[in-house]
Structure 1
Amino acid sequence: MSDLLTGSAATPKELGFTFPAEWHPHRATWLTFPHNDASWQGERLGKMRPQYLEFIKTISLGEQVGIVANDEKLKGYISEALDGVGVDLSKIEFVVKPTNDAWCRDHGPAFLINKNSGEKMIVDWGHNAWGGKYPPYDDDNRTPAAIAAHLGLPLTSPGIIMEGGAVEFNGAGSVLTSKSCLLNLNRNPHLNQGQIEEFLCNFYGVEQVLWVEGGIEGDDTDGHIDDTTRFVNEDTIVAAVEHDPHDDNYGILQTNLSMLKAMRLVNGKQLNIIELPMPKAVIIDDFRTPGSYANFLICNAGVIVPVFENPNDAVAIDILEKAFPDRKVIPLKATEIIWGQGSFHCLSQQEPLV
């Protein structure tokens, strides 16, 4: 493991690296196994575990699953639990290191591929637990370096806060993000919008940054894009919409939709927009969770979509099956996972195959 840019003025983009779209074939998907009360307090952690294990099992049908385990004892528990639900343990690999929370999309490594040489590298963005909301987070912040060491990959550290759930890529030069998150003063108050765009372009290897306004109720990340707007191919997105004008999500999702309709991609094309309904409000113990069908994970086995025993589950699955005609859409229950204020995409970070 080394800093690829040590002694060099070149950025990953200048060196030919880019962040591939999520539908690029994966070597593995990385997870940080939940083990304490950080996101699921008390009995909630035990209740979500079966759904989490089913998630791992489903990913493992098509690729390796890398799991960051807090210690050797937890590694042993995970192996036993996965074996108990029928997972092929040869598909599982571990990095054992201290961890704080489970949201690997945000604190995990960002994998880039060199379009010329086929080499792979890791970008180690800073992590401050969504604006310092949930300390401590220093162990999670060390996760990218640990995975880089495990894989023998070079990495570079831009030195600013960035979260994987805040950015969405089409693999053709565009990244989508939200103003409410990346322009929030609890992330990088010393940077303006233009400077943040420069970091995104240089360290993700993209050509343009497209901005929506904000995120949904119950999302404690200040509005991550992976709950609202996702690419399904280079020029097509699914955009979360709320049809009830009295719902708290109606206004912001209509604003986002208007902004998406005005966007142009690098090639000048408009986005093809597929409207994806929100679930009826997913409320647990009087708490409005950020339930969203947009928080799916595209992996080799298919598209893993969170469902909530909700009236809109079947409608959303039908829309996503049409949006992904060449992939299997796999609905998995997330009724307990969502209490932690995130779902399958938030929990995972893909490693591309080269």
Structure 2
Amino acid sequence: MTTTYAEASPGTATALEERIRQDPARFRVLTGDRPTGALHLGHYFGTLHNRVRLQEAGVEVFVLVADYQVLTDRDVAERLTATTEGLLLDYLAVGIDPARSVIFNHSAVPALNQLLLPFLSLVTVAELGRNPTVKDEIAHSRQASVSGLMYTYPVHQAADILFCKGNLVPVGKDQLPHLEVTRTVARRFNERYGQVFPEPEALLSTAPLLLGTDGTKMSKSRANSLALSADADETARLVKGARTDADRHITYDPEGRPGVSALVLLAALCLGRDPHAVAEEIGGGGAAALKRTVTDAVNTRLAPMRARRAEYARDMGYVRSVLRAGNERANAEADATLAQVREAMGSPV
């Protein structure tokens, strides 16, 4: 019986981290974002800083700007050029190095998307319908009706991961069903046509869930996030308006006091400290003291990133050249993989 990553023990993640440490060059990561709005602190602590960590460790990292997949839950793709350039600035500002990582966009790599058709033949309609992540995304879709792209989204992601032979994918637990589809596609292709693809492993995120200023999950679409591109004054304004409660004494109690605890956690992450210690230090200072602490911590943490972002923004020609170079590298990888797939399937080249 095949063990899914949803069933894997905590020790699996520890063992994987040790293998990465011992031989980072054997791993290739595929990760990325849809250009649907500004990246925020939830992205930074959830994924961005981990990409930089893996890059610094010597892992080869491919970062996808998933512009085609904007249409997954939207009827139209708006302001793609501006949002893509915003993503590029954020990537460079947080420390993703184009000399060591490949940044590319979906629409620029046609051979990647040609993998979708054979991959779709390897999964059933019933399997796609059972995917819990797809069900959740359909429930929260912005579309008037569910599109075929939404339904087949996990197979699109399989093409994204496998075109470059990605064998390590950083994910949260909610994304494990998507990765399991990728592993299924790779395994079935190899069984049917011969060994071509790795079955990628999940690098489970240990990042805690960050809530937004309204007490719900921090999200680009909910207007409750602290954007990496925000300046110090805007950050202060957003934190000032964050939801707390009537109890003046500050404690860290995520279940009982989610709004207060979300702010405490944000300060702790930015300061590199334990949230209980941060809450104890604020003590009876109330919401005002808490928000001052959060504002100072966030602005201090983001200050060097903001400075780098502003510097890169003064030379957008360079920023665009980073994407062009990444697209060239991604196209070379995709063309080689597609040639292997055609040969394995006995298709005309």
What's the TM-score, normalizing by structure 2? 0.36
Question: Quick check: which one's strand share is greater?
Answer: 1
